[in-house]
Amino acid sequence: MTTKTVGDRIQLNVLNGGADLDIDAELAKFEAEERERLGLTERVHWVDKNPNNFTIDDRKNTTLLIAGLTHAHDMFVQAALSAAGFKVQTLDCPDNEALRFGKEFGNRGQCNPTYFTVGNLVKHLSHLRDEQGMSTEDVVKNYVFMTAGACGPCRFGMYVTEYRKALRDAGFDGFRVLLVSQGGGVHAANGGGLTMTRQDVTWTFRGIMMGDVLNALMYRIRPYEVEPGATDRAIGECREVIATALRNRTSLLRAGWRCRKILSRVKVDRTRVKPKVGIIGEFWAMTTEGDGNYQMQRFLEAEGAEVDIQIVTNWLLYLISEKRWDTERRELLRHQDSGKRGLAGVDVRKQFLKLWVADKFMRGMFQTFAKVMGLMRYPLPNLKELGKISHRYYDMHLRGGESYLEVGKVIHNVVHNKVNMTISVKPFGCMPSSGVSDGVQSLITEMYPQAIFIAIETSGDAAVNAQSRMQMQLFKAKQAAHREFEHALATYGLSEEELRTWVAGHPKVMNALHKSPHEAGCTAADLVHEVARRMRRRARPVPPQPQQQPEAAAAA
Ligand code: SF4
């Protein structure tokens, strides 16, 4: 056998009775003969038909279906888009029935959020057809679905194709799925029907941020409500107030102020000791409020915890920081393109300035709404710092899922004692999240043994299994919260009785929107520190909490 380089390929020759046999040529000949025999002489590549025609005129008669975030977000985006001239309807939060539809019509081997979200759309359309008697043609003609997408690198890049496949198999061939790219822009609508003015986009972003603020307030207040159900009622009222303001394009600050008043009427008791549990993980799985994460937020609250959620604004800030990181790296790649310092044709300084402005604008807008609505002491993440502390364990070049954020948040939670316990939600079949939760986080929890951490895989079934694992860790977190509380009382020589009496005499501290400065993982311990300082109590030396091991203190 001999080899010979021909152009850019290596030709393999086998001696055949003294003559060289060109294997490649033989294979090509065989392929041609087989193609001829099978009638495949013309190579036809598969192309996604991608029906996405949606014109400005379609807006009048076509209903835009949206879904995917929390109840408040979906409602506010709907209101903002209605004001922009769209007919909009939100889908229900995906449940196990949606998962069943997703599994029936989706490809095998998808990640869990794909099944839930794709199944949720098929479920809704099937309901219109099979229960409301609408013809398939009318469903396809009168509805479109708008969703977020990106180029990946994980399955997120294939969602839109997955939607089309499932829709086709469920009998809705030709149904339009329009994609809003998270990289910025509406790419998939032919006909310009999704084109929005800058003002429309700004109002939509405002709606998302108002949703963030309202959700953050809800999770702060609800665990401590004195009358069960009072927070949900107040939040329901606030949602209506904000949605009306978005729909009518009236002052959101006024609407926010009204919400502040509504929420401050909820009576709370923050002297109850509850462990604070941070939920992190894959974006959709940690954000959804339904079966997609076993209704985790409600479950934890029912088990006596306070939940610390991740908000959508954090994700938007992450997207900006990702762009900044890329620009910084690219700028140093000299001679990769014709630019002197990389990035030919791009004014790098202008690019950085634009990203800086976008970051400041987002933070400014969020904090304005937060202040007006009463969400005090709610710092937005410092992405640079999170990147720095996690880069050693998770390279910032890696993309997909939550990237380095998941690692950075766990370290941050432990080092700064932000919560008593951290749950990382990873959907079944999720490529990036599994690598982080099962791989990198094992190292992190080794390094910070005081961390109470659990990774929960959400598969739609086995809810009891996941919940009982959470309960086990929660037991430890409850003990940690009680230790913190008692340690704080002992530090200032305060009794629980004295604490309660002082709080009862100070209506501002009792207010549902009050937030003590951060000192400890749980809210009740923060309250003790604040009250003791205001009572001018002096801290006295007490033995460290058993949970706070010397190596933990050293790591901090
Ligand atoms: S991050 Fe994971 S769950 Fe989310 S889309 Fe990508 S692969 Fe799926």
Is the Cβ atom of 432 under 6 angstroms away from ligand 1?
yes
Q: Which atom of ligand 1 is nearest to the CA of 283?
A: 4
Ligand 1 center–CA 467 separation, angstroms:
22
Q: Which two tokens stand for residue 472?
A: 């086990």
So what's the pLDDT on residue 434? Answer: 78
Cα–Cα distance list, 460 to 439, 457, 523 (Å): 23, 9, 32
Give the angle subtended at the CA of 456 by the CAs of 453 and 458, to the nearest 5°.
Answer: 165
pLDDT at residue 140 tops 70: yes
pLDDT at residue 267 tops 70: yes
Whole-number percent of the chain with pLDDT over 70:
90
Higher pLDDT, 405 or 18: 405
Predicted TM-score (pTM) of the model is: 0.88
Work out whether strand 276-281 and strand 306-308 pair parallel, antiparallel, or are unpaired. Answer: parallel
Query: Which residue's alpha carbon is at the smallest distance from atom 4 of ligand 1?
Result: 401
Give, to the nearest 10 degrees, the angle between helix 496-504 and helix 523-534: 70
For residue 246, name the pLDDT band (cuts at 50, 70, 90).
very high
Convert 50-64 into a string of H (helix), E (strand) and C (coil).
Answer: CCCECECCHHHHCEE
Is the Cβ atom of 148 under 6 angstroms away from ligand 1?
no
Q: Which two tokens stand for residue 40?
A: 């495949």
State how far the Cα of 259 lies from the Cα of 242, in Å rounded to an integer. 8
Average pLDDT, the chain: 89
Is the Cβ atom of 156 under 6 angstroms away from ligand 1?
yes
So what's the pLDDT on residue 18? Answer: 54
Is the Cβ atom of 94 under 6 angstroms away from ligand 1?
no
pLDDT at residue 554 tops 60: no
So what's the pLDDT on residue 551? Answer: 45
User: What value does the mean pLDDT take over residues 429-450?
Assistant: 86
Which has the minimum average pLDDT: 146-150, 303-307, 388-392? 146-150
Higher pLDDT, 266 or 351: 266
For residue 337, name the pLDDT band (cuts at 50, 70, 90).
low
Burial class of 4 by CB neighbour count within 10 A (0 to 12, 13 to 18, 19+): exposed
Query: Which residue's alpha carbon is at the smallest distance from atom 3 of ligand 1?
Result: 430
- Phi, psi angles (nearest 5°) of residue 19: -105, 145
Residue identified by tokens 């634009």 is: 354
Mutate to test the pocket of ligand 1, among 114, 434, 459 (most ligand atoms within 8 A of CB): 114
* Tens digits of residue pLDDT in 16-29: 555 667 888 889 99
Q: In what order do the strands lie in the sheet with 143-149?
A: 87-90, 63-66, 143-149, 176-181, 185-186
So what's the pLDDT on residue 116? Answer: 95
Which has the minimum average pLDDT: 96-110, 205-219, 396-410? 396-410
Is the Cβ atom of 401 under 6 angstroms away from ligand 1?
yes
So what's the pLDDT on residue 549? Answer: 47
Cα–Cα distance list, 445 to 124, 267, 405, 413, 481 (Å): 42, 38, 16, 12, 19
Query: Which residue's alpha carbon is at the smallest distance from atom 2 of ligand 1?
Result: 430
One-letter identity of residue 75? M
Residue 424 DSSP code: E
So what's the pLDDT on residue 11? Answer: 60
In the beta sheet, which residues pair with residue 421? 277
Is the Cβ atom of 68 under 6 angstroms away from ligand 1?
no
For residue 9, name the pLDDT band (cuts at 50, 70, 90).
low
So what's the pLDDT on residue 103? Answer: 95
* Tens digits of residue pLDDT in 447-494: 999 999 999 999 888 899 999 999 999 999 999 999 999 999 999 999
Ligand 1 center–CA 151 separation, angstroms:
12
Contact 549, 449 (CB under 8 A): yes
For residue 194, name the pLDDT band (cuts at 50, 70, 90).
confident
Q: Which atom of ligand 1 is nearest to the CA of 110?
A: 8
Cα–Cα distance list, 191 to 88, 155, 179, 195, 353 (Å): 18, 27, 13, 9, 33
For residue 348, name the pLDDT band (cuts at 50, 70, 90).
confident
Query: Which residue's alpha carbon is at the smallest distance from atom 5 of ligand 1?
Result: 156
State how far the Cα of 297 lies from the Cα of 93, in Å rounded to an integer. 14
Cite the DSSP H helix spans in 288-400. Answer: 296-302, 312-332, 348-373, 383-391
State how far the Cα of 178 lies from the Cα of 425, in Å rounded to an integer. 28
User: What value does the mean pLDDT take over residues 500-515?
Assistant: 97
So what's the pLDDT on residue 21? Answer: 74
Mutate to test the pocket of ligand 1, among 161, 404, 430, 437 (most ligand atoms within 8 A of CB): 430
State how far the Cα of 188 lies from the Cα of 270, in Å rounded to an integer. 49
pLDDT at residue 317 tops 60: yes
Cα–Cα distance list, 85 to 39, 108, 194, 368 (Å): 51, 38, 10, 27
Q: Which atom of ligand 1 is nearest to the CA of 426?
A: 3
Q: Which two tokens stand for residue 180?
A: 């809003």
Is the Cβ atom of 292 under 6 angstroms away from ligand 1?
no
Cite the DSSP H helix spans in 382-439. Answer: 383-391, 405-415, 431-434
State how far the Cα of 9 lies from the Cα of 447, in Å rounded to an integer. 50
Contact 278, 418 (CB under 8 A): yes
So what's the pLDDT on residue 556? Answer: 38
The helix (H) or strand (E) run that includes residue 221 is helix 198-221
So what's the pLDDT on residue 195? Answer: 85
State how far the Cα of 8 lies from the Cα of 473, in Å rounded to an integer. 59
Ligand 1 center–CA 87 separation, angstroms:
30
pLDDT at residue 47 tops 90: no
Q: Which atom of ligand 1 is nearest to the CA of 401?
A: 1
Give, to the nearest 10 degrees, the angle between helix 252-264 and helix 348-373: 40
Work out whether strand 276-281 and strand 421-427 pair parallel, antiparallel, or are unpaired. Answer: parallel
pLDDT at residue 115 tops 50: yes
State how far the Cα of 470 lies from the Cα of 304, in Å rounded to an integer. 12
Cα–Cα distance list, 554 to 84, 361, 515 (Å): 54, 37, 29
So what's the pLDDT on residue 5? Answer: 63
Give, to the nearest 10 degrees, the angle between helix 348-373 and helix 198-221: 50
Ligand 1 center–CA 342 separation, angstroms:
32
Cite the DSSP H helix spans in 249-347. Answer: 252-264, 283-287, 296-302, 312-332
Is the Cβ atom of 111 under 6 angstroms away from ligand 1?
yes
For residue 399, name the pLDDT band (cuts at 50, 70, 90).
confident
